[in-house]
Chains A and B, each alone.
Chain A
Amino acid sequence: MQPFTTMTGLVAPLDRANVDTDQIIPKQFLKTIKRTGLREGLFYDWRKQKDGSQDPTFFLNQPRFQGATILLTRDNFGCGSSREHAPWALLDQGFRCVIASSFADIFYNNCFQNGMLPIVLNADKILAMVNDVLATPGYQLMVDLGSQTVTTPDGTRSRFEIDPFRKDCLYRGLDSIGLTLQHEAAIAAYETQRKTEVPWLFTDLLHNQGTV
């Protein structure tokens, strides 16, 4: 996984609350067996007008937000379906950082699995930033994971909170499965003990029951 340390990037605003993962990427794009190439489906329905043509007012269609790498949005971003296609599509479009006033749990977690940084800032700050972004062509933010800060063009720094373990994994780009496998002995010891406590969970009764 690509490490995330610091980035400075163009900011694109999605000024809506409760953006669900069905909007981030609709179901017809979930039939893929790959993680890549999903930008085509990103906000697919919101990008279009009723007649099917591209909506020039939608932020992703505006020339000024082309090349944006930081998405700025409101409460409860990424609610609904657990589809990891949502962060995959954002990443495929170039977004490596999403700043919101709150996130849904599964989406928040999925970001970290893909080298993306979700940042929570308070709602007033977000609102002020959205207004600044709209008023300022080329508005960029500097994000520094090490110091856990977001810096605006006028030099104002806002600190954000992040779980230390997640921060470390993201900062170093660690393979989380590899990390867990370092505890193989502890997993095996746990299983040995559980086999005596709850033997019915270890009968492997599922083997060879299935058909295709």
Chain B
Amino acid sequence: MAAQTLFDKIWESHVVRAEPDGTTLLYIDRQLVHEVTSPQAFEGLKLSGRRPRRPGATLAVPDHNVPTTDRTMGIADPLSAKQIQTLEENCRDFGITLFGMNDIRQGVVHVIGPEQGFTLPGTTIVCGDSHTSTHGAFGALAFGIGTSEVEHVLATQCLVQKRPKTMEVRVDGVLSNHCSAKDAILAIIGKIGTAGGTGYVIEYTGSAIRALSMEGRMTLCNMSIEGGARAGMVAPDENTIAYLKGRPLAPKGKLFEQAVQTWQQLKTDTNARYDLTVTMQAEDIAPQVSWGTNPGMVTGIDQRVPDPRTITDENQRQATTRALEYMGLIPNMPMTGIKIDTVFIGSCTNSRIEDLRLAANLARGKSVATGVRAMVVPGSGLVKQQAEQEGLDRLFKEAGFEWREAGCSMCLAMNADVLQPGERCASTSNRNFEGRQGAGGRTHLVSPAMAVAAAVEGHFVDIRTWK
């Protein structure tokens, strides 16, 4: 057999049927569902009289609309409340497992999948959410889909697909002190651009990727879509297996041993070819801060805000000018000179226990700067519980951070956690689009470590030299 990439192996093991023109009916092992992109899919099932083919292969959770304050009184916003109630009704009507709003296992859909062991190597996983790429950290083929396809998978457990191309993003070397998976993926997007991965599935390889924890790999794969790639993946290894062992929905006992044997085959063969390879050296990656209105508009903390006058490409110059105007930034000012009003630590990119441990330890004994509002939103109820058992909540609260309930929160501001016009935020989330965190709000994407330092100083600082 010809040498295969990790992607080739997963793709080929999921082909139900392939037409001569390459149109493929691809089997989907698992689907995650949330309240925003599913109501019309369930409505479609009802209207056509169809039932889910394998309700047991689907897991649902409300996350986008949930308040991150006390929930015992319900949700004040009637539209949000209605959407969550609709999810509950649909799950009941169609026999789908739901972790409800007051279940300790509730959380951001891309946090709870791995946490529960629902996300497994070698599987195909979809969700009506572009950040489904997160699950590729386990060596799964995981990608976001629209609502019509959510309905398609519910009804058939399959999707019609054309085989994407493969891109290797290889990062060798050792990341500098305090540089994280977040800095690596922002630097990668800065290099390939927001459409560089369009039509590709990325496999991240190299010694710097191998050295990442599972949490770090999730952060990395999570933002593949910001580089245009629907999916990103990392081959499973001992870290992956150790992470999954004992998770509630992971296989147990003999079945686990059998699964591990299969998972160990899931790696790119030595002579396999990718359609494209991009390489980076980890030592070259500085802590990253975005300055513009898409995730490719990013630079190192030791750099300056770009000057449109030095950009020769007209389209790029116009886009940069427009972005700086929206962001209220002056060309050539040092990135460390950017003052912030708000700090958000959370989202499917950076809200896992490792992120919170790191952030809390940096916040230890420090105080959030006067006039800065800083909030921490754990990725799930279980992450929150774990953090509280470790005393992380106290470290945050003593430093002046708000400690909240789990959900998507200010990453997209569908609940009450919203930036005001002109407000500037250091955010550990994944998108700095105009208005993403609130109309007129200004988002700078950073790692959790950089977010804590910015909260304390009131402006961005180089975490590598921060005392």
Contacts and interface: CB of A to CB of B under 8 A. Distances in A.
Contacts of A199: 255, 258
Contact of B123 (A176, A187, A201): A201
A143 B129 CA distance: 31
A205 B98 CA distance: 13
Contacts of A81: 129-130, 412, 431
Majority secondary structure of chain A interface residues (helix, strand, loop or mixed): loop
A212 B88 contact: yes
A33 B43 contact: yes
A102 B256 CA distance: 44
Contacts of A179: 160
A187 B158 contact: yes
A29 to B, nearest CB: 10
A33 B413 contact: no
Contacts of A109: 145-146, 149
Contacts of A211: 98-100, 103
B375 to A, nearest CB: 18
Given A18-B319, A102-B195, A211-B103, A186 B17 contact: yes
A198 B199 contact: no
B100 A177 contact: no
A18 B194 contact: yes
B434 interface: yes
B255 A102 contact: no
B160 A26 contact: no
Contacts of B79: 31-32
Counting chain A CB atoms within 10 Å of each CB, which of B19, B64, B97, B228 scores highest? B97
A176 B439 CA distance: 37
A80 B431 contact: yes
B174 interface: no
Contacts of B156: 177, 180-181, 187
Contact of A20 (B37, B40, B294): B294
Interface in B9-44: 13, 16-17, 19, 21, 23, 25, 27, 29-30, 36-37, 39-40, 43
B230 interface: yes
Nearest to A181: B156
Interface in B203-235: 225-226, 228, 230
A198 B23 CA distance: 25
B152 A82 contact: no
B228 A76 contact: yes
Interface size, B (range)? 35 or more
A109 B65 CA distance: 26
B170 interface: no
A192 B254 CA distance: 21
A33 B86 contact: yes
A169 B155 CA distance: 18
A27 interface: yes
A53 to B, nearest CB: 14
Interface in A99-119: 102, 104-106, 109-110, 113-114
Contact of A106 (B16, B27, B130): B130
B236 interface: no
A137 to B, nearest CB: 25
Nearest to A22: B433
Contacts of B83: 31-33
Contact of B249 (A79, A183, A190, A205): A205
A129 interface: no
Interface string B129-162: 1100000000000001111110110011110101
B395 interface: no
Contacts of B95: 207
Interface string A75-101: 110011111100100000000000000
B82 interface: yes
B122 interface: yes
Contacts of B145: 82, 106, 109
Given A18-B319, A84-B146, A177-B152, A183 B198 contact: no
A72 to B, nearest CB: 15
B433 A104 contact: no
A93 B376 CA distance: 39
A165 to B, nearest CB: 4
B384 interface: no
A31 B34 CA distance: 12
Nearest to A31: B79
A155 interface: no
B71 interface: no
Nearest to B148: A113
B338 interface: no
Contact of B128 (A20, A26, A33, A82): A82
Report, nearest first, the 5 A-B pairs whose CB atoms are least far apart.
Answer: A204-B56, A113-B148, A200-B251, A33-B39, A84-B146
Given A79-B194, A104-B195, A180-B155, 19 more contacts: A16-B319, A20-B294, A20-B433, A22-B431, A27-B412, A30-B414, A33-B39, A34-B39, A80-B130, A80-B431, A82-B145, A83-B37, A113-B146, A113-B148, A164-B21, A164-B23, A180-B152, A181-B155, A206-B58
